[in-house]
Each structure stands twice: as C-alpha cells, then as structure tokens.
C-alpha cells in the first residue's frame, strides 16, 4: 500500500497494462481460429498496451495479427444454404467478367437471374455515346445517365446483426467510358483504406494524385471525426476541410470493408450518404467513382461473423445505389480478382484480404478503361 501511495501514476500504468494484456489473452482464447497465439504475443509486445482495450473490427487490425484459419469447414460458416448461394453469386461475377448477360439476363447453369437497374434501366442498353459533333445541327445534348444494374438471385435468411442477404450483386455502372492515360489521374484524389494504400504504392500515381488513405479507414469512424492520412505528407488531415481547400477533377472512394462490424448495413447506408454528400458539396465539379470492396478469400471467409462475402456484397450493393450515372459511378473490380465462386483468388492474396503488388497493374488498367470526361460540374 505504501508503494501505491508513493507511486500512484506508475501503479495506474502497470495496472492498465496488465488489464490490457489479460484482455488480449481472453480475446486470443475466445477466437482460436482467428489468431496464432505465438504471432499474437509477438504482435502484442510490439504494440501500445492500450490497443487491447479498444474494439478492433478492422480488416487491417486482424491482418496485423497474422491471422490463421482452419479453412472453410464442410458446411460453411452458416451451413450449406449459404455456401450454395455464394457459389451462385461467384458464378454470376465470373460471367459478368466474361461479358455474358448481354440481353439483360445473367445465367448460372439453366437458371436465369434477372438484372435490374434503377429508374433509367430501360435506357441502359442504348446509352447515348454521341459526341456533340455527331448531333444534328450541333445541338448540345447531355449524354444519357449511366445505369447501375444489379444481378438478382434467391436470397437466404440470415440472423446476423450486421447484414442481410438481399439477393443482389451490384455491377459496374453501364456508361460509354473512355480509355484514358496516366495524366487523367493528375487531378484525382483517392480516399480509402489499405487497398487504396496499395494503389498509392503500386499505381504509379502517388506523385501526381492525392491519396487520403490508411489502414483501418472507415466511414463510421469518419462520422466520429476521425482524421485520415494524406500520404504525400504523412500527416493526418480533416478530410472535409482538405476537400474544401483543393479542387479535384476526379475522386475515387473505396470504403466499407472496415465498417463490416460497425452496426448493420442500414446504418452504413446512412453514414455513406452523409459522407458522399460531404464529398459532392466540397467537389461539385468532380467525377466520383465508388469502388467496390474486394471480396475475401475462401480460407478467410467467415473467420468472424461479420467478415464474409455476403456482408461485403451487402455493403457493395448499398454503395452502388448512390451511383447516379451522371456524376457518380460504381466500379466493381472483383471480376478481375475472384474465382468462379466469388472468392478472392487464393494465390493472388497474402492474407485473404489484400492483393500482392503484382496484381495492381490489372486494377490500374481497369480504372484507365473507365474514364468519364463529359461531366462538367453540377447539372
């Protein structure tokens, strides 16, 4: 007791450190499939002791632990029904990548899955790509809005508090995109998580475009006032203020993976609406690209309740509803990187969530093939 009175701050420090360590041990014991204990303790000793006192729902946080998994069990995380649904959605993704479904229907075996768009869906197949020079009498007519379609399939019921299986997969917004060069990204801003950080490192655009990104970035945390790192300076900035201070021609957003365990998809939609409204208000002249969240590999799919591809699809479908085909476009790069069942292909990822560096040229080529040059500001 005398020692405690004499060194109260040291005692408090040691007490909190021990508490954090014990919580870490309990977490490791509760999730034996998630955490390799040896790597867990190595990670823990290298981190501030208070990190174990904080909730960690992020993909990056789990990856930093060197996650291990016993693999996808025989019945799947939620049973055979979910497994069959994921196989079906994977097939739809693969066929979309191959260019199937040109007649408005995507096929999986003998069963068609309807492709639905928004109120402009009827115009989606014949998006007007005429330039002004092609129009009669030089009439200035804005191009028709692009259409973001959704592949529909029979959903299954889930009891998750984080998501539902809405029975839809969002497809890249249909639009007469142009193929652009690297100079197209000179006035671009990229906002997002560790996958956006990968684009910063391997796209070749880090010296021209601005990257507001970091491990663990989430829309929910942004709503709570969390800042994000501007990679060119390495400093944390208030994103709202940063976007108000500089004019961009294009903005690429990739967020939602680190929101999988915050609330449910309905809440996520409200937060994303708030975020996108901020971006559009600050940058009314910019074309906005909403990039789909990457899927998870089969081995890591379901390592925790909220971390699975059904949840990713649910969030992606919500994000896609904000694409208006005029200023805002949804881009789904998943067909580039997923297998026929919709899982992130095992041999192109080092942890089941992130791509190897060699995969980024395919991603940058995809972005270059989806340039929008005819948006001139608020319509």
Average pLDDT over residues 9-18: 78
Structural domains counted in the chain: 2
Q: Residue 78 has what pLDDT?
A: 29
**Domain contains 217:** yes
Q: Are residues 179 and 302 in the same domain?
A: yes
**Domain contains 78:** no
Q: Are residues 155 and 6 in the same domain?
A: no
CA dist., res. 245 & res. 181, Å (int):
26
DSSP-derived 3-state class of residue 169: strand
Q: Residue 18 has what pLDDT?
A: 82
Match 């020079």 to its residue by tokens. 133
pTM: 0.69
Q: Are residues 221 and 336 in the same domain?
A: yes
CA dist., res. 312 & res. 334, Å (int):
11
CA dist., res. 343 & res. 89, Å (int):
10
pLDDT bin (cut points 50, 70, 90) of residue 302 is: confident
Residue 179, pLDDT > 90, answer: yes
**How big is the CA angle at 147 (ends 146 and 151), to the nearest 5 degrees?**
155
Q: Residue 303 has what pLDDT?
A: 85
What is the per-residue pLDDT across 137-171, written as a single tens digit (0 to 9) for each? Answer: 444 456 789 999 999 999 988 889 999 998 999 99
**How big is the CA angle at 316 (ends 154 and 345), to the nearest 5 degrees?**
85
Other beta carbons within 10 Å of 161: 10
Could you tell me the CA-to-CA distances from 301 to 34, 72, 308, 309, 351 in Å, in that order?
11, 7, 5, 7, 11
Give yes or no for a contact between 171 and 149, defined as CB atoms under 8 angstroms apart: yes
- 277 versus 49: which is more confidently predicted? 277
Match 């998943």 to its residue by tokens. 334
What is the per-residue pLDDT across 35-68, written as a single tens digit (0 to 9) for each? Answer: 344 544 544 454 444 444 444 444 544 333 333 2
CA dist., res. 287 & res. 327, Å (int):
5
**Domain contains 122:** no
Please list the alpha-helical segments (H only) found in 224-283: 239-245, 265-282
String of DSSP letters for 69-97: -----TT-TT-HHHHHHHHHHHHHHHHHH
**Domain contains 131:** no
Q: Are residues 33 and 176 in the same domain?
A: no
**Domain contains 359:** yes
CA dist., res. 52 & res. 42, Å (int):
14
Domain that holds residue 8: 2-54
**Domain contains 80:** no
Beta strands in the chain (DSSP E): 105-108, 111-116, 150-152, 168-170, 188-192, 210-213, 228-230, 235-237, 250-254, 287-291, 328-331
Q: Are residues 357 and 252 in the same domain?
A: yes
Residue 203, pLDDT > 60, answer: yes
CA dist., res. 185 & res. 249, Å (int):
8
Q: Are residues 224 and 354 in the same domain?
A: yes
Q: Residue 118 has what pLDDT?
A: 44
Residue 2, pLDDT > 50, answer: yes
**Domain contains 327:** yes
CA dist., res. 272 & res. 155, Å (int):
24
Q: What is the mean pLDDT of the chain?
A: 77
What is the per-residue pLDDT across 230-239, written as a single tens digit (0 to 9) for each? Answer: 999 999 999 9
Q: Residue 137 has what pLDDT?
A: 47
pLDDT bin (cut points 50, 70, 90) of residue 13 is: confident
Distance of CA 356 to the CA centre of its chain: 17
Of 36-40, 82-86, 190-194, 334-338, the one with minimum mean pLDDT is 82-86
**Domain contains 325:** yes
84 Cβ neighbours under 8 A, 6+ residues apart: none
User: Residue 310 sits in a domain of what CATH number?
Assistant: 3.40.50.1110
Mode of pairing for the β-strands spanning 235-237 and 250-254: unpaired
Burial category of 153 from C-beta neighbours within 10 Å (exposed 0-12, middle 13-18, buried 19 and up): buried
Q: Residue 222 has what pLDDT?
A: 95
Q: Are residues 184 and 43 in the same domain?
A: no
What is the per-residue pLDDT across 99-109, written as a single tens digit (0 to 9) for each? Answer: 433 333 332 32
Average pLDDT over residues 360-366: 97
CA dist., res. 227 & res. 247, Å (int):
19
Q: Are residues 184 and 319 in the same domain?
A: yes
Average pLDDT over residues 83-110: 42
């Amino acid at each position: 007791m005398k020692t405690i009175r004499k060194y109260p701050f040291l005692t408090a420090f040691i007490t909190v450190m021990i508490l954090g360590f014990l919580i870490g041990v309990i977490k490791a014991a509760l999730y034996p499939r998630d955490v390799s204990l040896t790597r867990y303790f190595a990670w823990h000793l290298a981190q501030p002791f208070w990190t174990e006192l904080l909730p960690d729902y992020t993909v990056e946080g789990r990856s930093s632990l060197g996650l291990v998994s016993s693999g996808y069990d025989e019945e799947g995380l939620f049973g055979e029904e979910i497994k069959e649904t994921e196989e079906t959605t994977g097939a739809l993704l693969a066929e979309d990548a191959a260019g199937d479904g040109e007649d408005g229907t995507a096929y999986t075996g003998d069963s068609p899955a309807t492709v639905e768009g928004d109120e402009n869906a009827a115009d989606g197949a014949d998006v007007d790509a005429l330039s002004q020079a092609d129009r009669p009498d030089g009439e200035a007519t804005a191009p028709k809005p692009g259409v973001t379609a959704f592949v529909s399939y029979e959903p299954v019921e889930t009891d998750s508090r984080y998501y539902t299986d809405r029975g839809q997969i969002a497809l890249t917004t249909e639009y007469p995109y142009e193929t652009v060069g690297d100079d197209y990204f000179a006035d671009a801003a990229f906002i997002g998580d560790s996958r956006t950080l990968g684009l910063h490192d391997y796209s070749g655009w880090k010296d021209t475009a601005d990257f507001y990104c970091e491990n663990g970035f989430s829309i929910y945390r942004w709503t709570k006032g969390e800042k994000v790192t501007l990679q060119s300076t390495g400093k944390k900035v208030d994103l709202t203020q940063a976007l108000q201070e500089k004019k961009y021609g294009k903005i690429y957003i990739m967020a939602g993976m680190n929101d999988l365990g915050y609330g449910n998809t309905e809440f996520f939609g409200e937060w994303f609406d708030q975020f996108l409204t901020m971006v559009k208000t600050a940058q009314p002249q910019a074309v906005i690209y909403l990039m789909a969240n990457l899927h998870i590999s089969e081995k890591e799919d379901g390592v925790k309740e909220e971390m699975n591809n059904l949840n990713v699809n649910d969030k992606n479908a919500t994000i896609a509803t904000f694409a208006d085909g005029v200023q805002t476009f949804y881009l789904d790069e998943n067909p580039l990187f997923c297998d026929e069942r919709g899982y992130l292909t095992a041999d192109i990822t080092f942890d089941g969530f992130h791509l190897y560096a060699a995969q980024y040229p395919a991603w940058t080529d995809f972005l270059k093939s989806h340039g929008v040059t005819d948006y001139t500001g608020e319509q």
